[in-house]
Structure 1
Amino acid sequence: MPILGHTQYGKAEVRVVRIHRDTDPHVISDHNVSVALSGDYADTHLTGDNTRVLTTDAVKNTINAFAKEAGDAARTPEAFGLALARHFTGVPQVSRVRVGIETFPWRRLEHAGAPHPHAFARDGGHVRTTTVTRAGDGAEWVTSGVAGLVVLKTTDSEFHSFYTDRYTTLAETTNRVMATEVTAQWWHAEHPADWDTAHATAITAMTSAFAGHHSLALQQTLYEMGTQVLATGPGIGEIRFSLPNKHHFLVDLAPFGLKNPGEVFHADDRPYGLIEGTVRRDDAPAPGPAFDPGQAW
């Protein structure tokens, strides 16, 4: 006889833009929020009894209302996610809530040589990510992150002395272009006093490590980036990376009578190497279910 396994439901990708007009200059918080609820919902699956089901439309409405009601908490995705998670675990049949937020950065436009207080442009450089998980007993786990952060270095990267078999054709190199699109998630063993500052500090640490590290492999650079993020303070217990190789292949210009000493490249989007890994503080407590190592990235 079939047995019902783990289930969850909720509302995905609720786009909510909050303009904070209580300060001058104004501030924009642009969030894409997804909420998943787990708990005692067997009846709706097995018999169609929806008595315990909080509608996904109500979940959407709550997100929109909390953009106003949460006040300053809506300014940062971590604080906004915590406010939502604490609300939804107040629903009696909910035993666990997972709130995922993508936050899209905006930058101020300039006018007359100075940042304008009320005019903005979307900054397409990367997306800030947050996941808040809260259990019914009040235990909370917060992860911050980044996606779509493309970085490249024109030198100081090597790749050689690797294992070979009869299918290996890749040439060794002591000087290559190394580029990747960083997806990273870091778990806060302790909540920082300022989420924005903590996020900016982590980004600066990982990009500085990428820039300054002489790399013998992207794997080695991943570890160095993680090490530098953990060195920013004891509050971050663990960081995970997913780093695709953004391959740049040297173009053969010989047919045109031209030399190409590492100047003209073809940027190829697929297939690509995918390097993933975790760097963890050795004295950090267990991160809990929000950072299950078996979860997809």
Structure 2
Amino acid sequence: MNKTLGELQKQAITELSAYSDSARLDVDLIICHVLSISRTALITQDRMVLEPEQLNQIQQLIEKRKQSYPVAYIIGSRHFWDLELKVTEDTLIPRPETELLVEMALSLFAEDQTTRVLDLGTGSGAVAIAIAKARPEWSIIACDNSPAALSVAKQNAETYQLENIKLINSDWFDDIPDQQKFDLLLSNPPYIESDDPHLKQGDVQHEPQAALSSGRDGLDDIRKLIANAKCFLHAHGWLWLEHGFDQAQNVKDIFTEHNYTNIKQHLDLFGHTRISGGQLG
């Protein structure tokens, strides 16, 4: 049976509402992806009759979403900052709270100041690429221990034709030369407790687990980063990290334990402390 775009949209939203809290957005993104149209066109072209092949493809992807498969992986992209980034199952899906790291980076140093930045565990390259695009005079290195994730980051950097970003295969600092010093280190590291049941639920269950969990209290990688970062910072350089909404005090204590100064923390839009930073004295 033929369906118009509007009829399919309404039906799909009703079906998906039992499985997703963002059914309307999910359906819109899937339809726009298959038909290569904008969300505005969903309104202006709602009487368009779909071809059987289009209808079948959309319905297949809606069924996939019903199985909690992330929309970002279904359509192969995610919006972050002012970017549209390719994502795959080899990368974490960039989230709005991670934009706090970009905001902090851009606020710390002047636009025309010679600034060296290292993004640790770059994944899709979201943070590094956002900064590199906004600050073409800065020098950015982004590292990850996953060659597959670095391949995605490379494609994203090439999309925006960035010449001030370099990608390195490194497990945290392992393959960063000791003589290299940076003004700013950034990371969205794994920080979920390894036995957290949420790791097996919703979208998260499909994301790379090594990029999500970090020991019994979720802080193993954060401890490693804070302990080792000082060797790679210029005097008065900064380290900023994303962490869980309930880890702020523990992260602050780790910064204090390692004698960082000017320790600061910032809230996300929900009022949770989600990033913390410290300065090399």
TM-score by length of 1: 0.28
- Higher strand fraction (1 or 2): 1
The alignment's TM-score, normalised by the length of structure 2, stands at 0.29
Structure that is richer in helix per residue: 2
